[in-house]
Amino acid sequence: MEDFFSGMDLYLKTLWIIALVVSLVFVIQLILTIIGMDGSDGVDADFDSNLDDGGAPFQLFSFRNLTNFLIGFSWGGIAFYETISNKFLLTIVALLIGVFMLVIFFLIIRQIMKLAQNNVMKMESAIGETCEVYLTIPGEGKGKGKVHVKVNQTLRELDAMTDGETLHTGSMAKVVDILNESILKVEKL
């Protein structure tokens, strides 16, 4: 290893040391993330809350982001060392590559967060929605039928009742209430 560094100037040695150390840290982080030891405390609460950090899945100043930035900076600097002889310009290019790595990481995390959204259906969010009768709903609360309604941006088929006249298949209705936490109360539009 000493022979590898012996012919290099201080700037290139520094880039190589940063690249090797940060790459090792990145591999360790990757392995820990894959096996599930990525810093989560393992605490899971059984209530609906919003205790996140302001809705931002991306914290600018974190160890993982520093690692991603330094990987881009160091390997970018090494890659362009022979091409760009001006060290100031090389540093600017390496900094831009580091920032580019942060942006790429942000976009990846944002897409992953979309996949991890809580899709638990909350019946209350159906109130006020327009629905289509799928199976005839007997009038005057005499029985149940089924409707297609969008709940949390997902089309669902749910049980429904009405106090009004019979609603036939294909007719449109509006959800006005929830009965017994699982049956929609609808009225004709």
Tally of CB atoms within 10 A around 112? 10
For residue 167, give the DSSP letter: B
Q: What is the CATH number of domain 123-188?
A: 2.40.50.140
Q: Which residue reads 């390997």 in tokens?
A: 75
Cβ(130)–Cβ(187) below 8 Å: no
- pLDDT for the residue numbered 162: 95
Domain assignments of the chain as residue spans, ordered by start: 2-46+56-115, 123-188
The phi, psi pair for 145, rounded to 5°, reads -130, -165
The 8-class DSSP code of residue 62 comes to: -
For residue range 28-46, what is the model confidence (pLDDT) as tens digits? Answer: 988 987 887 655 444 444 4
Q: 175, 124 in Cβ contact below 8 A?
A: no
Instruction: Give the pLDDT confidence score for residue 168 in this predicted structure.
Output: 94
Q: What is the C-alpha to C-alpha distance for residues 4 and 17, in angstroms, rounded to an integer? A: 11
What is the average pLDDT value for the chain, to the nearest integer?
Answer: 85
* pLDDT tens digits, one per residue of 93-105: 999 999 999 889 8
pLDDT of residue 65: 86
Give the pLDDT score at 113.
76
Q: Calculate the alpha carbon distances from 114 to 57, 68, 108, 110, 111 in Å.
A: 10, 21, 10, 6, 5
Q: Which residues of the chain have pLDDT under 70?
A: 1, 37-60, 116-119
Q: Give residues with Cβ within 8 angstroms of 18, minimum separation 6.
A: 70, 73, 74
Name the token pair of 28. 């360790």
Q: Beta-carbon neighbour count of residue 103 at 10 Å?
A: 11
